[in-house]
Structure 1
């Protein structure tokens, strides 16, 4: 194993990182640092979060800065405010002994005026989210002509969040002879396209296997009835008393509901989702980073770029719609050589998605059995004993109180005293699980009762359910005439909105993708602007149609007649829609087969020729033979 000195890291930087506890370089650092210290070396690095990426690109960037020239020389793009601040903080720590080096984090949700002042004062390294950097470029404050090193951290996340156009615009303003480094957890087609467009003869460095999850993470799945999901979550959390983890949910509403339930049940938990203000998000994250919270319940969007050390568990309360997102979720534990556990709580309907994830991460899930009440009580009892053993006793401070304490407890034996001390902490779990029914695991032939099917349908959401959904409070639900059959997915909806709503940031809520069309929610104050901006836009040769979703949205043609999915798609593509039932001559609400039978029955009665009944009902010989006998 090489040392940082052998990799070419300068003495000033080595002194700072040694004080931080860095001893030997991690694999990604060993691969990337020497290459980036050279000139004209572009890199695409595939590595999970927590593998030492920040030091891998940060150390060579810092070493190549000429502090005598106070102009932007390096640019680091990242998806979220939290990651932006974390990278800037790490770089400041690494450069502790480099005098006069200026690093500026640039992100939304903070005063742009103060960032403008700092930018005008002169900086060497800009760490930015794409949206805010575009704002500063348009205000002619951020000048990138002198940048000679560009890093895109968590590039796949930035693309998923719809920043493709912003990244393209930024890279066009940076000199072509720059060094460019892309860090990504997964190699998607979009990552490959950007790499081919903006990188020159890029070296691909893969730590592990492409798209593979961290080797230090154990993946476990518990299959339960959908109705037992929350009870299963509590058992898992109770079985790991020292848990420090993130619980991922699919929607903001579910995130808040689960967090509220956990808090009510006495757990140290809080929520993180898009409806929280920036101040609320910062407060929650501060409590979580300081270990004042054990559990953070979050959506994928809210947790993007979240970097927290020492997570023991990641729990997937709902599997992500985009299976590659699972890689990012599980990569938040098992960092820096430590081990972690990624748990998925699934029902029978999600087994197919589990198989897809296994292919992506190139690992098999351990199919676990939920711990019994007895198992949980045993784990909690061990925790109580461990906590008592670790209590520090201040002999001097407690000495004056001990005579009174001894007198109070003199009637108790040592055994009775131990039982009481342990039970004071342990009784809550003992009482809860004493009579708690065990959670039955469904078998492959078990379709579940109707209540379970209804719960699962509500949890997963069929196309019919999605069409009938109502928008969350403060949001308006919009219809879009593009769906999965058009190769249209959630990240493209976000990108479409970002590209056509340049003047303002749009708050996007739930996105429901269906076969031939989609629904998405936006802030009700921005709904009209979104409709006006997107209507008529071209997407891969198709004209985009957006409208406020109503009860029949997506179910009628432009003349107001009900239509099928196929006719709706024909209409969207400019072909003649299928004629309505009335246009085809049906005046009854009954189907054509029923109408034909009624007509033939009437003719039969009027003809009164019972021997000729076969000519009217050739396919029902047996039934009418009985009628003829009567």
Structure 2
């Protein structure tokens, strides 16, 4: 693995931007993808979960490839949710802090006024980050993508599971002059394989980060055994013992998240709930309250939590085990960001003890039991 970003070929002004964010040692996906994307820049298929540093893995090479003097969108990044699109936009903006000339990045997602987005895109914008639905609206309003040379699909599996297959096909059609597609996905089900077969080079470069490499070593993984009916009381006691520490509680279903929110409020705890049925406006309101620390704890479902990037979370609680291993790394990766430490606590029923052993083996982790 590369020692630093200079040895990967990253430009000095971008290294300075990364350094200012405390990003000094490349993650496995960055070490594997960045030199290839800078030097070759052709089609790339990368398997990487959230929390592995993939935004820098595609974002830094993209910032080096675009020309701020050209008045066209040259890099197009597609993300499944508004939160993730905004998070990517914010990270790219931070990476470019020391770039001269400045490289402008715009974000176009639902929930914001399209007229304002159209106006902002009339300025030279080398990189656009967009959600599939809003990009379709902009194309109908006359947005031109003929200058796009690099198309990045982030969380491709998530976009397909959300039903964006037609939109993605339309985006490929709307970018006829692209030189390369860079696809990042946590899983490769049939639909993702189909997308790759239809739209990407047969000899695309492949990068796979082993599950054991992607786990953040600053997270203390814990589990507690309790019957289903005891979980609420356990969580309430745990949260009350946290002082001013802030954290996220994951529930598997929307109904479960809403019910848990009601229980915690009854216990006098400061809590917000984010789940798929919320309107964009309500969702933004909850997220704003959490980010501004007006709410101490946030309850979320897996899909609703995509793109949640809040600094300084001390712990994550998983009300029950997730359906898939990648969701475990996605959930636990919400804590211990930017070099800090954090706790990931999973509540299991007595019959699920074997699942913890499975997670330990497949991810190379050690879980400790909390009594």
Q: TM-score, normalised by structure 2?
A: 0.86
Cα offset, 1:61, TM superposition: 0.9
Alignment of 1:199 with 2:200, yes or no, is yes
Cα offset, 1:339, TM superposition: 4.1
Aligned to 2:58: 57
Aligned to 2:297: 295
Aligned to 1:17: 18
Q: Cα deviations across residues 460-500 of structure 1 (Å, max 9, x unaligned)?
A: xxxxxxxxxxxxxxxxxxxxxxxxxxxxxxxxxxxxxxxxx
Match of 2:133 among 131, 134, 147: 131
Alignment of 1:143 with 2:153, yes or no, is no
Cα offset, 1:81, TM superposition: 0.9
Aligned to 2:164: 163
Question: Do the aligned partners of 2:111 and 2:281 also contact (CA within 8 Å) in 1?
Answer: no
Cα offset, 1:126, TM superposition: 0.9
Question: Do the aligned partners of 1:211 and 1:360 also contact (CA within 8 Å) in 2?
Answer: no
- What are the within-5 Å matches in structure 2 for residues 71-86 of structure 1? 71-86=72-87
Unaligned runs of 5+ in 1: 371-630
- What are the within-5 Å matches in structure 2 for residues 536-575 of structure 1? none
Cα offset, 1:107, TM superposition: 0.4
Match of 1:346 among 348, 352, 357: 348
Cα offset, 1:161, TM superposition: 1.9
Q: Cα deviations across residues 218-237 of structure 1 (Å, max 9, x unaligned)?
A: 44333322221201212333
Q: Distance in 2 between matches of 1:342 and 1:88?
A: 27
Match of 2:278 among 276, 279, 296: 276
Aligned to 1:318: 320
Helix, strand or coil at the partner of 1:345:
strand
Q: CA RMSD in A?
A: 3.0
Q: Cα deviations across residues 27-48 of structure 1 (Å, max 9, x unaligned)?
A: 3323222211124422222233
- What are the within-5 Å matches in structure 2 for residues 467-616 of structure 1? none
Q: Distance in 1 between matches of 2:214 and 2:198?
A: 25
Relative contact order: is structure 1 or structure 2 higher (C-alpha 8 Å, sep ≥ 6)? Answer: 2
Cα offset, 1:323, TM superposition: 5.8
Q: Cα deviations across residues 330-349 of structure 1 (Å, max 9, x unaligned)?
A: 33234445444332223356
Helix, strand or coil at the partner of 1:120:
coil
Cα offset, 1:104, TM superposition: 1.4
Q: Distance in 1 between matches of 2:17 and 2:363?
A: 38
Q: Cα deviations across residues 276-309 of structure 1 (Å, max 9, x unaligned)?
A: 3333322322232344433111122321222223
| Structure exhibiting the larger radius of gyration computed from Cα positions | 1
Unaligned runs of 5+ in 2: none
Question: Do the aligned partners of 2:148 and 2:178 also contact (CA within 8 Å) in 1?
Answer: no
Q: TM-score, normalised by structure 1?
A: 0.53
Q: Distance in 2 between matches of 1:19 and 1:254?
A: 40
Cα offset, 1:355, TM superposition: 6.5
Aligned to 1:237: 239
